């Protein structure tokens, strides 16, 4: 007896077909005309539609491009494994790199254990430097698209596809997931909300296009943006300034609605004091960017 039973194409099966021990008529199975007929029917009528019935996460559009998910992570041991598992489930064709920004907890080990590539900063360098490390990696490995997904579980991986699609179709150089386009029920604190409204109006006025969520880090960048970000990326709290820099360089920016959760674990770095510093720092940085020639 064979341990795994009998395979359809095995020698046994072929012998049986020849000898007719399967009980089926030999003439039916061997008829080349009928075989060609089935093949013709399959490739003419059934195969052209097969992509419609594929599961969402195996859509050819996502598989045609080299896609990298960049996860910036600083002390995110509570959530990193779950975030990686969820990305794998929803975008199995993507590669994942975790940029561990000098975490003092088990973030790096857990990320490696979940199968992601892990790049570690020796010291905490901040989110700007963390993202730039990710973009440098994307560029060096020739990725077509890079998507930033936070390590704290705020960015839903099932919505990565809607960020990536316009970039793949050549409709935008960067696509930002916006919490304020009618999806989800994200409610920031009053102080944060004031800052968000202020920056959204400022950036919209500068780039002459409505941007509703300038602080969202849930974004997909195409090849040209990857190239640019690998050589220049703002420091602290970089998301707002990055949009102004991209606009200055002539890149096209698009927003799509997304829903975002609250942090699923760990600790937010944004205290009320830091929010004030953030506002002033980003404002000054944008003014300097606008004054600079290049
Ligand atoms: N805070 C902070 N986050 C970093 C740093 N380096 C990398 N990160 C990662 O950058 C991502 C965004 O940081 P968050 O602290 O979540 O910032 P946020 O989403 O604006 O703030 P919350 O809404 O409070 O979560 C997370 O995945 C962090 O782990 C760093 O130096 N400080
Ligand atoms: Mg967060």
Looking at residue 65, what is its pLDDT?
A: 85
Provide the strand spans (E) within the chain: 67-73, 95-101, 117-121, 145-148, 174-178, 219-221, 253-257
**Closest atom, ligand 1, to C-alpha of 188:** 23
Q: What is the pTM of this model?
A: 0.80
Mutation pick for ligand 1 pocket among 80, 268, 272, 273 (CB with most ligand atoms within 8 Å): 268
Alpha helices in 25-157 (DSSP H): 26-30, 32-41, 60-64, 80-90, 107-113, 127-140
What pLDDT is recorded for position 236?
83
Tell me, what's the pLDDT at 7?
A: 40
Residue 219 contacts residue 113 (beta carbons within 8 Å): no
Ligand 1 centroid – CA 269 distance (Å): 6
| Residues near ligand 2 ion, CB 5 Å cutoff | 150, 152, 154
Q: Is the CB of 137 under 6 A from ligand 1?
A: no
Could you tell me if 171 and 265 are in contact, meaning their C-beta atoms sit under 8 angstroms apart? no
Q: How far is the CA of 31 from the centre of ligand 1 (A)?
A: 65
Retrieve residue 10's tokens.
């095995």
CA of 221 to the centre of ligand 1 (A): 19
Per domain, the residue ranges of the chain are 13-53, 58-291
- What's the CATH code, domain 58-291? 3.90.550.10
State the Cα–Cα distance between residues 71 and 149, nearest whole angstrom. 5
Beta carbons within 8 Å of 232's beta carbon, 6+ residues apart:
245
Residue 284: count of CB within 10 angstroms of its CB: 11
Please report which helix (H) or strand (E) contains residue 237, including its range: none
- In whole angstroms, give the CA distance from residue 256 to residue 282: 23
What residue owns the CA closest to ligand 1's atom 12?
A: 150
pLDDT of residue 60: 62
pLDDT by residue, tens only, the chain of 294 residues: 333 333 444 444 343 344 344 444 444 545 667 766 776 666 556 555 544 454 444 456 667 789 999 999 999 999 999 999 999 999 999 999 999 999 999 999 999 999 999 999 999 999 999 999 999 999 999 999 999 999 999 999 999 999 999 999 999 999 999 999 988 888 888 878 888 999 999 999 999 999 999 999 999 999 999 999 999 999 888 999 999 999 999 999 999 999 998 776 667 766 777 778 888 999 999 999 999 876
Beta bridge partners, 228, equal none
Q: Helix (H) and strand (E) counts for the chain?
A: 12, 7
Would you state the pLDDT for residue 10? 42
* Run of H or E residues at 20: none
**Closest CA to ligand 1's atom 14:** 268
Is the distance from the beta carbon of residue 93 to the nearest atom of ligand 1 less than 6 Å? no
C-alpha closest to that of 253 among 217, 207, 285: 207
Residue with tokens 């927003």: 255
Pocket test of ligand 1: the residue of 150, 192, 267 to mutate, having most ligand atoms within 8 Å of its CB, is 150
What strands, in cross-sheet order, belong to the sheet with 174-178?
Answer: 117-121, 95-101, 67-73, 145-148, 219-221, 174-178, 253-257
């Amino acid at each position: 007896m064979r341990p795994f039973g009998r395979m359809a194409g095995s020698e046994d099966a072929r012998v049986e077909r020849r000898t007719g021990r399967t009980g089926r008529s030999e003439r039916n199975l061997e008829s080349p005309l009928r075989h060609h007929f089935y093949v013709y029917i399959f490739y003419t009528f059934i195969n052209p539609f097969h992509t419609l019935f594929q599961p969402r996460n195996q859509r050819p559009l996502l598989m045609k491009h080299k896609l990298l998910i960049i996860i910036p992570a600083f002390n995110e041991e509570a959530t990193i494994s779950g975030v990686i598992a969820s990305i794998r489930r929803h975008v199995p064709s993507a590669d994942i790199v975790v940029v561990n920004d000098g975490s003092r907890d088990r973030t790096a080990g857990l990320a490696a254990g979940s199968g992601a590539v892990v790049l570690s900063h020796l010291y905490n360098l901040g989110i700007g430097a963390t993202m730039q490390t990710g973009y440098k990696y994307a560029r060096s490995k020739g990725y077509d698209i890079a998507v930033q997904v936070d390590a704290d579980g705020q960015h839903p991986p099932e919505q990565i596809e809607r960020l990536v699609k316009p970039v793949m179709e050549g409709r935008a150089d960067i696509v930002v997931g916006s919490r304020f386009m009618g999806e989800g029920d994200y409610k920031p604190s009053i102080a944060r909300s004031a800052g968000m409204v202020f920056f959204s109006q400022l950036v919209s006025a500068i780039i002459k296009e409505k941007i509703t969520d300038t602080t969202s880090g849930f974004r997909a960048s195409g090849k040209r943006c990857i190239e640019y970000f690998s050589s220049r990326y703002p420091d602290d709290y970089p998301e707002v300034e990055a949009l102004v820099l991209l606009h200055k360089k002539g890149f096209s920016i698009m927003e799509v609605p997304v829903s975002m959760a609250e942090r699923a674990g760990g600790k937010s770095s944004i205290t009320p004091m830091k929010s004030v510093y953030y506002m002033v720092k980003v404002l000054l940085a944008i003014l300097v960017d606008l004054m600079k020639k290049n």
